[in-house]
């Protein structure tokens, strides 16, 4: 398996899992900095590699009135200040060609959203500019279909590829996580991340917004780590009930330490790490 190096850690093969975590979308700088500092201290304590995740603009909201974030200019400025103050790597998603160049200057891992993963020109343009590219597997794809996306990314000259599983459409307003997808995609040869919070999302489930089942996140996350996944993706918030985006499937910050401690124990057992 290709190992992806980022700062002082590696992702993939038999290394410990990386945590990609943060709020769904930037709400304000103070709150984002608070979450990033909390996560940085916690992951340092638990010796878990950490990438801070937050979106500056969510273009794929259910409703026209849904909160999207501060936008490209202000959002990237906030992310840049978090990166400079805390010295943490960043992940954010891009939705438009016009964003790619500017985002690539600041963000360490550029993410292609699930609904755009089959847009060939867009995927290849992100791949050309990204230091590391994370492809969200579309809810409509089989795990073996990911090989076609990776071929596009490699054709653009990028070998630093992460693939993220976020569940598969299962009827209306529902997703299901097929754990078989993790080993199938890992066999392609690139690190696989499991998005435990989006996998319990109920897309559009409340009519004008998505619902979610955050109580199911620990079960799916533990199963994914037991299956040898290379990273866990979690959306978190101080008070998910008041989050402006994806609160229903986001975890409370103060619930993380116990979960991450358990995940690390499982990861160590599975990967035979002392």
Neighbours of 203 (CB within 10 A): 18
Fold of 18-268: TIM Barrel (3.20.20)
pTM, full prediction? 0.96
**Which whole-number Å values give the CA distances from 128 to 69, 149, 152, 189, in the listed order?**
26, 14, 11, 20
Phi, psi of 192, deg, nearest 5: -120, 130
Reading phi first (left if > 0) and then psi (alpha if -120 to 50, else beta), residue 125 is in alpha
Percentage above 90 pLDDT, the chain: 89
- When pLDDT is cut at 50, 70 and 90, the band that residue 58 belongs to is confident
Q: How far is CA 35 from the centre of its chain?
A: 16
Q: What is the 3-state secondary structure (H, E, C) of 171-190?
A: CCCCEECCCCHHHHHHCCCC
Whether the CB-CB separation of 55 and 22 falls below 8 Å is answered with: no
pLDDT at 274 over 80: no
pLDDT at 201 over 80: yes
- When pLDDT is cut at 50, 70 and 90, the band that residue 273 belongs to is low
pLDDT at 82 over 60: yes
- When pLDDT is cut at 50, 70 and 90, the band that residue 59 belongs to is confident
* pLDDT number for residue 99: 97
Q: For the chain, first and last CA: distance in Å? A: 22
């Amino acid at each position: 398996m290709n190992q992806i190096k980022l700062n002082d850690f590696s992702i993939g093969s038999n290394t410990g899992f990386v945590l990609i975590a943060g709020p769904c979308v930037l709400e304000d700088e103070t709150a984002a900095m608070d979450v990033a500092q909390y996560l940085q201290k916690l992951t340092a304590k638990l010796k878990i590699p950490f990438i801070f995740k937050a979106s500056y603009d969510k273009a794929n909201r259910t409703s026209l009135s849904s909160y999207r974030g501060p936008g490209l200019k202000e959002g990237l400025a906030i992310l840049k200040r978090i990166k400079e103050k805390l010295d943490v790597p960043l992940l954010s998603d891009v939705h438009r060609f016009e964003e790619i160049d500017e985002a690539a200057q600041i963000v360490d891992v550029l993410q292609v959203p699930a609904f755009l993963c089959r847009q060939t020109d867009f995927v290849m343009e992100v791949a050309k500019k990204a230091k590391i590219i994370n492809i969200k597997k579309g809810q409509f794809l089989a795990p073996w279909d990911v090989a076609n996306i990776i071929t596009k990314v490699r054709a653009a000259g990028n070998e630093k590829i992460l693939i993220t599983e976020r569940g598969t459409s299962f009827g209306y307003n529902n997703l299901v996580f097929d754990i078989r997808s993790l080993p199938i995609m890992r066999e392609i040869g690139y690190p696989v991340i499991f998005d435990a919070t989006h996998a319990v999302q109920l897309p559009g489930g409340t009519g004008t917004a998505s619902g979610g089942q955050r109580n199911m996140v620990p079960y799916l996350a533990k199963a994914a780590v037991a299956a040898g996944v290379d990273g866990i993706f979690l959306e978190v918030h101080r008070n998910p009930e008041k989050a402006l985006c994806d609160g229903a499937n986001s975890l409370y910050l103060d619930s993380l330490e116990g979960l991450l401690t358990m995940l690390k124990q499982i990861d160590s057992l599975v990967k035979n790490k002392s």
